[in-house]
A and B are shown apart, each in its own frame.
Chain A
């Protein structure tokens, strides 16, 4: 394991030299009670597991003093983990995340959002103009423009997988932000896109955009988002990392029971919506936010299980698109010692 130890040394040097906040200590044993950690989050329903764990004291139970750091996009969050400003976060697997893992800065330690048959998942959307021109089915996407935030983003992956299955080709339009994509879709500047149901459904209802399919039909068991941390935390702070995953999983279990499986009863569901509303759509009145939160409820992997096949498929696609180096393996990205299969 010469490789790993040299990587460790590099990281130590990095911490000392470049001022990035890697702690040089090798605290492999226990961590102190009330250890302060930063958790990165987007104000999306898909990040609810962390919110639940925080609100219900599951982090406290593990002796973790969590501070949330909110971001506008997944990309800067990944960089913040790499720089040590954030300890744990949830994001989609993107070329950027893989690249950071390859550079020894980030490590995936578990799964979060998954596409699951029977649960409302991500939707395929088309603009009204395209719909009226006959684009009513994903098989008719040939030659159409497809909105992505960035090359190598999950939107790019989904578009490519859908196109591959339908035997069509798409032209990808990078638009950087979800807001910009929605604007472009509404005004008919781009033809198609995929997004989580809590955004897709209201758009479809407004009539400016139409849902023409489900991502799950094209990418079954798609591991949409993953839990990740810095390589330093993964390698040298095992008890802390495991504690985080335990608390996170309890939050996920509560969330699934309340809003995905709906086994906890109506009262628990309402309570869960209330809890999530503190973080998501906080600027909207409860009545407006409620349907969006309920619509957006996709399963968060129990026990942070990771679908290795899906992750491998995504890595293979990134490689085929020359977005990441061929030398990257599953192990480069994932620290499987944490992962529940």
Chain B
């Protein structure tokens, strides 16, 4: 299943947040969206997943999601959004409970995603017992459990320290390499963008519109820390963004 954004525009009251966004999200690819703070990249993600309605334009699904997909458009949130009163297993079970799956199937799915995210040993742990990185692993496992057609990841690593971030990036790369998934990955971190994105969409400051789409052809598995091509791409992205970021930084908050 592909997604296509057609002339998406959005406004909050009198403020234009997004303008004329045309974008293709091809199946099996990770599309990263970067941009200065306040450019509307998180808003764009909410529009894609149907948590908000765009003021103009539309988001179109091309092709049907795979038959076994329980929740085609699935989010991974920056703040993890785990229920603190449910165990790791319970949090994953939560999103399976409304789909009328048998207990056996549920069990199989949970075991599978826990193995894939290396959480099997933490099955009964409560969120409060887990580090930030582990919590986000649980959130990713939960997202995987519903077999999404597209994963919508909203700054999933921003709340983590840089070491944990590196580890999780490796995990995401491994996950994708083993079984390619489609994802829209919003981040303000250019390093994450060049490490994970097959395409990096650069948004301008508000009202956000697409400045450039940078394709990165290096296979994900080969993108190691300090890869010279990636360094160059990252530098290029930064050049694109620097002035925008500076201008955005100097805007009055309520302007």
Q: Are A and B in contact, CB atoms below 8 Å, in the complex?
A: no
